[in-house]
Amino acid sequence: MELKRSQELFEEAKRYLPGGVDSPVRAFKAVGGTPPFITRGKGSRIFDADGNEYIDYVCSWGPLILGHSHPRVIDAIKQAAENGTTFGASTELEITLAKMVTTAMPSIEMLRFVSSGTEATMSALRLARAFTGRDKIIKFAGGYHGHSDGLLVKGGSGLATLGLPDSPGVPKSYTLNTLVAPYNDIEAVAQLLHKYSGEIAGVIVEPIAANMGVIPPQPGFLESLRQLTIDNDVLLIFDEVITGFRVAYGGAQSVFKITPDITCLGKIIGGGLPVGAYGGRRDIMEMIAPVGPVYQAGTLSGNPLAMTAGIETLKVLSQPGNYERLEKTSAKMEKGIAEAAVSLNCRLRISRFASLLTVFFTDNQLVDFESVSGADTAKFSWFFHRLLENGIYWPPSQYEAAFISMAHSDEDIQKTIEIIGMALEHLKD
Ligand SMILES: *Cc1c(COP(=O)(O)O)cnc(C)c1O
């Protein structure tokens, strides 16, 4: 496989864009090598500037649950574009998508559309703080909620600690109100709620952690979290930017039958265009301007093209049988990799929830950020490059989820399993 043209473009891009990219993971720093520059996507496939074809398991990091350039979504976007791309004024499309979202997730009585997941979580925290009149929030180590200052905190692993910024440029004072607990550790949350009683506005959580690789919640974790937050009069904020409309049409909250106070959405609800949203109980949402005093605005919020792509995506998604088929495809992938690993005596763990899947090169029981941190990233890099050379575009980091879409066929999965088997053959212990 040749990446000559991509290599040239990457060098040129680096002169104009830091690292040649607009989002760090795209530069392949974790795995090394040249990132293919993409020219086109269709269904489960993407094509690069050298004419290479890949089966894509990144799928734009989640939005493309229908695969690339789904004909219905593309047609809808084309038609919408003919009518103008943005007005900075209201359109009926916002009502249509809002109705679809509130119907799918009854915990959301009202919502506000924004332009990214980062904006959704950032605004949800502002709202939670205003509603409760408190400043502190709890997040989980390894949980990613976009790059806003107060959320750029992993915290130390192990015992719950006060948050320290992960990035230069974030003043310590901005993260002093961010408390961090290990994921799946309800006792740590209880201790924080006790220690900072009366000071905590909300707990923000990815109900299924998918930004440290896939780590599902332990049985009872989310239920206990809901009970604890109710008991302490603290808002529960589900960050369903990845899981919303992915693990089920109603998101993780429908799978676990939990009603959060606020939900953050993004990715799938924009059908491949830039979107985010946050929503929840009416009494909370009515704190937002212009009804209430909490300011939050956006020039391109509720953008007609993004609304259209979201509406069409949800329409296709809501047809019966889709999620069942996606589950079958995803289970087949998990089973195939597991069988290859066993037959080759290869030590790894496959962590899957619905169509989110991570292959971890570790023996650890995976429950939180600390337990995933021990994974063998050198092995992963080797694995990643064998896949890429053989036409499989896997996420370029050990700590990311692979996304399986409804466009992935049984043949795609079969081919992927074969190539993964070949790669694992060289990673035998
Ligand atoms: C992707 C993601 C975000 C951030 O969304 P952007 O649109 O990239 O700003 C927030 N939370 C979770 C759980 C995500 O996966």
3-state SS track over 273-316 = CCCEEEEECHHHHCCECCCCCECCCCCCCCCHHHHHHHHHHHHH
Q: Is the pLDDT of residue 376 over 80?
A: yes
Give the pLDDT mean for 407-418. 98
161 pLDDT more than 50? no
> Does the CB atom of residue 266 touch ligand 1 within 6 A?
yes
The response to whether residue 50 sits with its C-beta less than 6 Å from ligand 1 reads no
Q: Which of 24-33, 121-130, 154-163, 380-389 has the lowest mean pLDDT?
A: 154-163
Query: Nearest CA to 415 among 392, 396, 395?
Result: 392
pLDDT of residue 164: 66
Q: Look at residue 334 and tell me whether its pLDDT is greater than 60.
A: yes
Q: Where in the chain is the domain with CATH 3.90.1150.10?
A: 4-69+321-425
State the average pLDDT over residues 332-347.
95
Check if 142 has its Cβ closer than 6 Å to any atom of ligand 1.
no
Residue 383 has pLDDT above 80, yes or no: yes
Take atom 5 of ligand 1 and give the residue whose Cα is closest: 117
CB atoms within 10 A of CB 327: 15
Tell me the one-letter amino acid at 73: V
Provide the pLDDT confidence category of residue 238 given band limits of 50, 70 and 90.
very high
Which one is the CATH code of 4-69+321-425: 1.10.510.10, 3.90.1150.30, 2.40.110.10, 3.90.1150.10?
A: 3.90.1150.10
pLDDT at 162: 56
CATH of 71-317, one of 3.40.50.720, 3.40.50.2000, 3.40.309.10, 3.40.640.10: 3.40.640.10
Question: Token pair 């990132």 is at which residue?
Answer: 35
* Mutation choice for ligand 1 from 241, 253, 399, CB with most ligand atoms inside 8 A: 241
pLDDT digits (tens, 9 = 90+) for 82-122: 999 999 999 999 999 999 999 999 999 999 999 999 999 99
Domain with CATH 3.40.640.10 in the chain: 71-317
Kindly state if the Cβ of 353 falls inside 6 Å of ligand 1. no
Catalytic machinery residues = 144, 239, 267
Mean pLDDT throughout 333-358? 96
